[in-house]
Amino acid sequence: MTTKDVLIAEEGNNFVESGGGDIATFDKNAEVVKFELEPKPIGLTKEQLEKYRNDPFWKPVRTVLFVLFWFAWALMFAGAIAIVVLSPKCAEKQKPDWWQTKVSYQLLTATFYDSDGDGIGDFAGISQKIDFLRKIGVTTVYPTPVIKIQKDEYFNEYDVVDHVSIDDRFGTEEQFQELIDTVHNRGMFLVMDLPISTVDISHPWFEKREESKFIVARPSEPGFNKTNFYPFHGANNIKYLGYPTSQNPVLNWRDPDVKDTINRAFIKFLDMGVDGFHVDHISQLAVDNSGEPNHDNSVTMLKEITQSIQRHIDSKEELAQKKIVLFSTLKDVEDLHVKAVETGLLHYVIDNSFANLNEKKCEPSIAKCVHDALDQAYRRHEVAKYTPHWQFSNSEVSRLASRFPSSVAHLLSFLQLTLPGAISIYYGQEYGLKDAVNKNGDFKQMGVMQWYQTGTDHHGFSTNDIFFPESDDKLEMDNYNSQFDISDSPLKIYRKLAKLRQRDEALIVGETVRDELINDDVILFSRYVQASNNTATGSVFVVALNFGEIERTVDFSIPQISKLIPPNKDISKAEVSVATANVTAYQARQHYNFAESPMVLPPKQAVLLKL
């Protein structure tokens, strides 16, 4: 026996040596060696097994048990299949439509990027800059205007002269098609303005005033002095309805030629691949001879439009799986929009109530002003039961960073990006672009997009003389490129929030626990998907914004604030997701125990927590 084959173990005074199947034990006290040549067998021996194998009693027992085993197995297998097939399916979690959670980016085609050096932005320019928008989390491109409009100095999308043609100042129809394809190739969407209730006075329909069939018009009778009716030039015996100004005659939607032309426009752009349309001033689809809107008839007209669009979608195999959206804006008639949404004729209504706020209107407390505006909006959305679509700035009002100080405008953009529903950003808002310098002060919110700091190329917009104004060259950070290179710039904060709201379900479809106003300076609210007993499924986000001039603390132990946190989440394990530039006490992706000590917010700063 070699050393390799021998195992020696010591247990007290005994020694055990084993090799192969032999075991030898030595008792030191008794001085006796005991040999066991083979270990004792466990169970039945070979001879005993052989005896029972042929036993006449056990043979049928074994057979019966064998059959019963496989029969039971077959029954269990069949039962499992039956349970899977017959059990009620789990309710699928309803996914929001593509437009309900997206970041829409409204831009003016004429002022976004000039690709050919003629001083006016174009479709090719937007195509060249799509990746810049995609980098910062934009998912829906909303260029306006697109169709042929009056060639004046304002590029007003309501000054329509042809609903079916592309405006050649922005490029060819092929270039617009290329823009649509470029957007879709990046998994993005494109929507457009399509004015359906008014035209410009240079429209051919207006020139045929002697027929008075295309335009809402009436004889100029003595005593009729409605201020929104205007006399035709050279035909004072007839007056036409203009909305919102005398430049925009209201279309007569009872005329079949009007309906047919605008339906052809919808169909043309649907076939080109447009994903949705903004239709405004829907109250003007049905007006009487005195100019008063008839809301019920307006809804009827809108229904005809949606049915026509749906018939075309159903007739095209390539459009069958596509969700086309129609949307309007709250600036027209609120109760009409509510009715249109309730009946499914409009998919959403842009809430532009924040676009009407400014620093003066919000005195003495911006936070309280914002809190009240949010409260009114929440109530409006709850009553109307439609998904909110937030717009804080647009082409008809002064820019957000000019209506408020830059720091407040940044906070408002932070707020907008964390609210429930969809959002619409006005180009340049992402980095705090201000109103342009304009010689007459009009349309200063329509200044050119500023891509770079300065130079002879008008901040990177065009290499030629430009038609539109631009902001002050001295503002080094008032452009896209400079801010993209700085990690905590307003643009980079915007980017983090825009991308985060595309990834986390709590920000995509989560409920909002109403905001709380603390010390007239701090706004707090939380977002999460609610389960039973107000618990949260998945992440919880807490938004804290200090609009005040001094540092404020947020104590999560007081009831007013603690109610924002669901019972199954712990504020002692809060992670900072995003913080504005001057929040130096907290770093992104770091955890903090706000149960032991309050959160400290510097003035004009914001923090987004994740639990």
| DSSP letters for 113-164 | --SSSSSS--HHHHHHHHHHHHHTT--EEEEE--EEE--SSS--TT-EEEEE
Q: What is the distance between the alpha carbons of residues 339 and 282, in angstroms, rounded to a whole number? A: 12
Least confident among 343-357, 361-375, 415-429, 524-538: 343-357
Mean pLDDT of 235-253: 85
Among 171-185, 216-230, 414-428, 470-484, which range has the highest average pLDDT?
A: 171-185
Mean pLDDT of 431-441: 80
Which CATH homologous superfamily contains domain 506-610? Golgi alpha-mannosidase II (2.60.40.1180)
- Residues of the chain with pLDDT > 70: what percent? 81
Q: Is the Cβ–Cβ distance between 515 and 374 less than 8 Å?
A: yes
Token pair of 244 as six digits: 């919102």
**Does the structure show a pLDDT above 70 at 474?**
no
| Reported confidence tier of residue 12, pLDDT bands at 50, 70, 90 | very low
Sign of CA dihedral 479, 480, 486, 487: positive
| pLDDT in the model for residue 418 | 93
* DSSP three-state, residue 92: coil
| Reported confidence tier of residue 560, pLDDT bands at 50, 70, 90 | confident
| pLDDT in the model for residue 320 | 79
**100-200+252-463+475-500 carries CATH number 3.30.70.920:** no
More confident residue, 257 or 471: 257
- Residues of the chain with pLDDT > 90: what percent? 40
Least confident among 31-40, 188-197, 349-358: 31-40
Nearest to 260 by CA among 317, 205, 329: 205
Mean pLDDT of 501-515: 82
| Reported confidence tier of residue 109, pLDDT bands at 50, 70, 90 | very high
Q: What is the distance between the alpha carbons of residues 137 and 55, in angstroms, rounded to a whole number? A: 80
Q: What is the distance between the alpha carbons of residues 76 and 355, in angstroms, rounded to a whole number? A: 65
Q: Is the Cβ–Cβ distance between 419 and 388 less than 8 Å?
A: yes
Q: What is the distance between the alpha carbons of residues 55 and 57, in angstroms, rounded to a whole number? A: 5
DSSP string, 518-560: ETTTEEEEEEEEE-GGG-EEEEEEEEEEE-SSS-EEE-TTSHH
| pLDDT in the model for residue 6 | 41
Mean pLDDT of 315-333: 81
Mean pLDDT of 590-596: 91
Which neighbouring-strand residues pair with 141? 105, 190
Least confident among 89-98, 197-206, 353-362, 568-577: 89-98
**Does the structure show a pLDDT above 90 at 69?**
no
Least confident among 9-23, 198-212, 381-395: 9-23
Which neighbouring-strand residues pair with 27? 14, 32
User: What are the Cα distances from residue 223, in Å, to 49, 219, 220, 226, 250?
Assistant: 121, 11, 9, 9, 22
Which neighbouring-strand residues pair with 523? 517, 545
Least confident among 16-25, 79-88, 278-287, 384-393: 16-25
| pLDDT in the model for residue 386 | 61
User: What are the Cα distances from residue 172, in Å, to 52, 129, 230, 491?
Assistant: 95, 18, 35, 32
Nearest to 578 by CA among 546, 552, 603, 543: 543
Q: What is the distance between the alpha carbons of residues 19 and 1, in angstroms, rounded to a whole number? A: 7
Least confident among 162-171, 406-415, 446-455, 522-531: 446-455
Q: Is the Cβ–Cβ distance between 442 and 410 less than 8 Å?
A: no
Residue 546 half-sphere exposure, CB side, CA atoms within 13 Å? 20
Mean pLDDT of 49-66: 68
| pLDDT in the model for residue 317 | 85
| pLDDT in the model for residue 4 | 42
Mean pLDDT of 107-113: 94
| pLDDT in the model for residue 85 | 61
| pLDDT in the model for residue 5 | 44
Mean pLDDT of 210-221: 79
Number of helices (H), then strands (E), in the chain: 16, 25
| Reported confidence tier of residue 1, pLDDT bands at 50, 70, 90 | very low
Burial class (CB in 10 A: 0-12, 13-18, 19+), 266: buried
Rounded (5°) CA angle 31-37-42:
115
Residues in the chain: 611
pTM score above 0.85 = no
Mean pLDDT of 379-394: 76
| Reported confidence tier of residue 8, pLDDT bands at 50, 70, 90 | very low
Burial class (CB in 10 A: 0-12, 13-18, 19+), 379: exposed
| Reported confidence tier of residue 57, pLDDT bands at 50, 70, 90 | low
| pLDDT in the model for residue 533 | 79
More confident residue, 11 or 166: 166
**Does the structure show a pLDDT above 90 at 280?**
no
Task: Return the domain boundaries, the chain.
Answer: 3-36, 46-83, 100-200+252-463+475-500, 201-251, 506-610
**Does the structure show a pLDDT above 50 at 90?**
no
**Does the structure show a pLDDT above 80 at 480?**
yes
Residue type, 423: I
Least confident among 378-392, 472-486, 523-537, 552-566: 378-392
**7-11 sheet: strands from edge to edge:** 7-11, 14-19, 22-27, 32-36
More confident residue, 236 or 462: 462
Nearest to 509 by CA among 388, 349, 333: 388
Give the CA dihedral 222, 228, 234, 236, nearest 10 degrees: 0
Token pair of 37 as six digits: 């040549």
Q: What is the distance between the alpha carbons of residues 252 and 409, in angstroms, rounded to a whole number? A: 41
Q: Is the Cβ–Cβ distance between 230 and 217 less than 8 Å?
A: no
- 445 backbone dihedrals φ, ψ, rounded to 5°: -80, 0
How does 548-586 read in b/e, with b if 16+ C-beta sit within 10 Å? beeebebebeeeebeebbbeebebeebebbbbbbebeeb
Mean pLDDT of 196-220: 82
| Reported confidence tier of residue 41, pLDDT bands at 50, 70, 90 | low
Which neighbouring-strand residues pair with 293? 287
User: What are the Cα distances from residue 596, in Å, to 292, 570, 593, 599?
Assistant: 62, 12, 6, 10
- Strands 32-36 vs 103-108: parallel, antiparallel or unpaired: unpaired
Q: What is the distance between the alpha carbons of residues 137 and 427, in angstroms, rounded to a whole number? A: 13
| pLDDT in the model for residue 337 | 57
Q: Is the Cβ–Cβ distance between 217 and 279 less than 8 Å?
A: no
Contacts of 342 (CB under 8 A, 6+ apart): 384, 385, 386
